[in-house]
Amino acid sequence: MILSRSEKSKRRGRISNSRKDVERARRPKSRRVSRKLLLFLAFACLCGFGSGALWLWWPTLVASADDWLKGRDGFLVKEIIVQGNCRSSRQEVVKALGLAPRQLIFTFNLKEVQNRVSALPFVRETRIHRRWPDRLEILVKERQPKALFYLDELYLVDQEGRLIAPAPKNEMLDFPLISGASMAQWQNQPEVWSRLLKKALALLSIWEKKGREWPEKIAQIGLDEVCGVTVFTTDKVWELQLGLEGFDERLKRWRQVLEALGEKAMAVKYFDCAGTGTVVAGLRPHPKSTSSQKLRAQTIGVDLKAEKHGQK
């Protein structure tokens, strides 16, 4: 077979290329691996030296940037707006932030600052927003006092039964008084008295919903580990013994007894509603009656049926 010169050159090129491939394949793989390893080590050393230098110079860079920004007054906290506060003063909220005199707006932890403000006695929840470039907006939700709790001194308590703070002495407070425990009892048996306090607050909520049209309001609530909750009213100064549960149903029975007694209810001193289906009314002693008459006229019982409400 006779080949032209061009075909002969192409064939020689193919043979030479195949020889090169064979030679490459015969080279040891260790050389290629070592080259890659050296490149990786060089890159790692370069990154390590760069990171180390950055770590060493980072405080200096941060300080320089901080000084530069403070010198330009561009991002300093210049205005603090506090909203929603009533019993917590603006000064108390700003002080609780714990910011430096020339504080940059982006150099403090927002969550930590919110927690410090939320730790104030009357503050229930706090939200803080950065308003660029130099303003902070603080929205405060406060705990609302529901009653006064006497523990050797008066404390304000909220609906959840948490002691907020000692009651201010220079302020007129129109809240029901809860009593029955000392500070020592509260500290020694916190679970017992906290449970009783929550029951008293639950009773206050029921009274607010059911008794809006009642002439009688709650003046004081007494707590007892055995007898439970006792209410003293404002106008007629009645004493209602309600026990530890079923306040809604027992208050309903009490109102039915008042309707059944009519004007005779003025002579009643206390109503024992802690029984099942009955209300025991204790009469006020008459000043001219003898001691034996006082004992005989001390109590009257009123039975309540499911369908009929009679009086005994």
For the chain, what are the domain ranges? 79-142, 147-303
Task: Could you please state the CATH topology (level 3) that the domain comprising 147-303 is classified under.
Answer: Rossmann fold (3.40.50)
What tokens does 18 get? 């195949």
CATH topology for the 79-142 domain: Ubiquitin-like (UB roll) (3.10.20)
Same CATH topology for 79-142 and 147-303: the answer is no
What pLDDT score does 32 carry?
59
Which class for 215: exposed (0-12), middle (13-18), buried (19 or more C-beta within 10 A)? exposed
Q: pLDDT for 75-132, tens place per residue?
A: 889 999 999 999 999 999 999 999 988 888 988 999 999 999 999 999 999 999 999 8
* pLDDT(291) > 60: no
203-226 pLDDT, tens per residue? 999 999 988 778 889 999 999 999
Where helices occur in 189-275 by DSSP H, the ranges are 190-210, 247-261
Q: What is the mean pLDDT of the chain?
A: 81
Higher pLDDT, 40 or 130: 130
Give the largest CA-CA distance in the chain.
154
Residue 252 reports pLDDT greater than 60: yes
